[in-house]
Homo-oligomer: A and B are copies of this chain.
Amino acid sequence: MTRSLGTADFTAPIEDRWFSDYVAGVQYEYGHLDVREEEILRFAEQFDPQPIHTDPDFALHGPFGGLIGSGWHSAGLAMRLLADHYLSKVASLASPGVDELRWKVPLRPGDRVRLRATVLEARPSRSKPDRGMVVTQVELLNQDDGAPISFRAMNLLAVRPDRRSPSGSA
C-alpha cells in the first residue's frame, strides 16, 4: 500500500474532497511503488514494443546500458498514485490534457518511485459556477530524486455542492 510521504496531507478525505480543497502552492508526496522488470516488459509488449523496453540483452548494449521502461509506463505509474491519493473520487469531472510532459531520466527495473504533486493554480470557472480548474505540477521521482516523468496536469473539479451559487453570481 502506498501512503502520504509528506509532512502534511489533505484534511479532506479523497471521498469528500472538492475544488476548494486544492490550494495553490501546496505540495504533496505519495508512494512508494517498486518497479519490477517483469512489469516493464509486460507494459512494453502491449503498448511500446521497442527493443530497449522489451529485450534486456539488446538494451544492455544500447544507449542506456540496460532495459528501460516505456515513458508511457511512467505516466501510468504517476496516474496510479494521483488516482489513489490526490484526485478526488467524487469531484473529478474531466481532464482536458497535460502540458510539458518530459522524460528526464529513464525508468529502470528496481527503481522505487514516488509522486510529488504541487498545486500551481486553482481557478473557478467563469461560465460554470459549479466547477473549477486545478493545474498541478506532477513529478514521478526515483530513489535519486531524478524524474522519469513530469507534466503539468489540468483537472476540472466540482465545487462542494453546499457552496454552489444557483445564479453563478456568488
Contacts and interface: CB of A to CB of B under 8 A. Distances in A.
Contact of A103 (B76, B83, B95, B151): B95
Determine how many copies of this chain the complex contains. Answer: 2
B97 A99 contact: no
A102 interface: yes
A20 interface: no
A58 to B, nearest CB: 11
B70 A79 contact: yes
Interface string A93-127: 11111111111000000000000000000000000
A48 B71 contact: no
A83 B48 CA distance: 6
B97 A100 contact: yes
A145 to B, nearest CB: 18
B93 A46 contact: no
A50 B102 CA distance: 24
B98 A101 contact: yes
6 contacts: A48-B76, A49-B83, A50-B83, A75-B75, A95-B103, A101-B151
Q: What 10 A-B pairs have minimum CB-CB distances, sorted nearest first?
A: A47-B76, A97-B102, A98-B101, A48-B79, A97-B101, A47-B80, A72-B75, A72-B79, A47-B79, A72-B76
